[in-house]
Amino acid sequence: MNLSLFPVSVTQVGNGFNQVISLFRAAEDVAEAGGGGGYCDLGEEGDVLRDLLIRAHGGHANARQCAEMAVSGGEILGDDAGTVCAVLAPGEVMHVDAFLSRLDVREVMLVAPVVLAGMIRGPIPEEYLEDISQSLTEMRDIYSWAARTRLCVAQIYAG
């Protein structure tokens, strides 16, 4: 499944699934047009990022919980044919942000070859590692912005 993250207000979440999906589609369109800002497309790499975050923090229970929340821990807001929306509340976003803000992306990427060895046969392409590093940075930025502005983070699963 393709995973995307973006910040939304508590009011927008309160307006329901259709409102959040509409905002997601608009953010996705802006990002595809090169506008960036406020949207993070992790593609199908959510599980990889979760495992990297857990390994980078020694597999501790708090690391596992925060990594899970960051990529798949939101409360389900709703779903329709092939699209599911989960949302982390502002307090949960702040918890995830505190975890992610302590990360050194370079250190996390040092464990990437070990995590990816069980998923990819042969040498790991450098471009793939760069994409993972960029996704991790973008994810951290989304949570940081949402935490500073007391927003929720919507997790959209499509596929």
Tens of pLDDT, residue by residue over 45-86, are 888 898 888 887 776 778 889 999 999 888 999 999 889 999
Q: Say how many residues make up the chain.
A: 159
SS (H, E, C) the chain: CEEEEEEECHHHHHCCHHHHHHHHHHHHHHHHCCCCCCCEEEECCHHHHHHHHHHHCCCCHHHHHHHHHHHHCCEEEEEECCEEEEEECHHHHHHHHHHHHCCCHHHHHHCHHHHHHCCCCCCCCHHHHHHHHHHHHHHHHHHHHHHHCCCEEEEEEEC
pTM of the model: 0.91
Angle between helices 46-56 and 126-148 in degrees, nearest 10: 80
The model's pLDDT over 133-156, given as tens digits with 9 standing for 90+, comes to 999 999 999 999 999 999 999 999
